Structure formats: C-alpha cells, structure tokens
C-alpha cells in the first residue's frame, strides 16, 4: 500500500485544524496603544448565533467570529457568546476597547485610535 493516501489525509486534517483554530493561536502579551481615547464599554453577552451575526463582518472569509469589539467615536461594544469561553472572550475584547493590543492587532488599533481621536477633537 502506498503512503500517499495517508499523507493527504493527514495534511487535510492539519489544514482543517489550522482553519478551526484561526487567530486564537496568535500569542503575545498585549501592550497599551499610546494616547488611546477613553471609551465607554457596552457589553452584549448573547446567544452564540447573535454574537456571530454581529461579528461576522470582522471574521476572515474562511472563519467564524466568536466575539468582537465594535468601535464608535465614544463607545466600544463588546459582543460575546454566552457559554464556556464567555469570560475569556469578554476579557480579550475589553482589552481591545481599552487600547491593549496583541502583536497581530497593534497596527489596526493604532489606525483606529487616530480615526477616533480625529473625530473627537
């Protein structure tokens, strides 16, 4: 028996795993973005389908958003699904609302800070 079917099967399983895990594997400690504006945080702890619907526009085309922070000039809305990882998702998104950015999100939050500060002048 040839090893090729087994190889392609293993490769497929690995790719599926990578797609399912997505950005949750990106590590790094959050760092404060300088001159971050003070935003009022509004939490939405809702059923998973509702959180996913609110956040889907921020998910990659191949994935699903399980939670997100949506920014407005004076507010930041945290969307998180009720359930097992609710508190962890809320904590990460609250960090984003407070300008605490992990390495993969730093550039985007810096751009967002500039837009918010420009609107709130």
pLDDT in tens, 58-81: 888 888 888 999 999 999 999 999
C-alpha span between 39 and 11 (Å, rounded) = 44
What pTM does this model have?
0.72
- What local confidence, expressed as pLDDT, does residue 80 receive? 95
- What local confidence, expressed as pLDDT, does residue 23 receive? 45
DSSP 8-state symbol, 105: G
What's the average model confidence in pLDDT over 86-109? 91
- What local confidence, expressed as pLDDT, does residue 5 receive? 61
Confidence class of residue 34 from pLDDT cuts 50, 70 and 90? Answer: very high
- What local confidence, expressed as pLDDT, does residue 81 receive? 95
- What local confidence, expressed as pLDDT, does residue 111 receive? 92
Average of per-residue pLDDT values in the chain: 82
- Residue % of the chain over a pLDDT of 90: 52
Token pair 């797609």 is found at 19
C-alpha span between 44 and 19 (Å, rounded) = 26
């Amino acid at each position: 028996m040839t090893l090729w079917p087994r190889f392609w099967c293993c490769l497929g399983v690995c790719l599926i795993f990578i797609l399912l895990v997505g950005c949750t594997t990106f590590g790094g400690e959050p760092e404060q973005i300088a001159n971050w504006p003070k935003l009022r945080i509004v939490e939405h702890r809702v059923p998973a389908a509702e959180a996913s619907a609110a956040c889907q526009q921020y998910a990659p085309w191949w994935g699903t958003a399980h939670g997100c922070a949506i920014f407005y000039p004076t507010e930041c809305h945290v969307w998180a699904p009720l359930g097992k990882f609710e508190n962890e998702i809320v904590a990460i998104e609250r960090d984003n609302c407070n300008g605490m950015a992990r390495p993969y999100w730093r550039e985007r939050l810096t751009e967002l800070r500039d837009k918010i500060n420009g609107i709130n002048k």
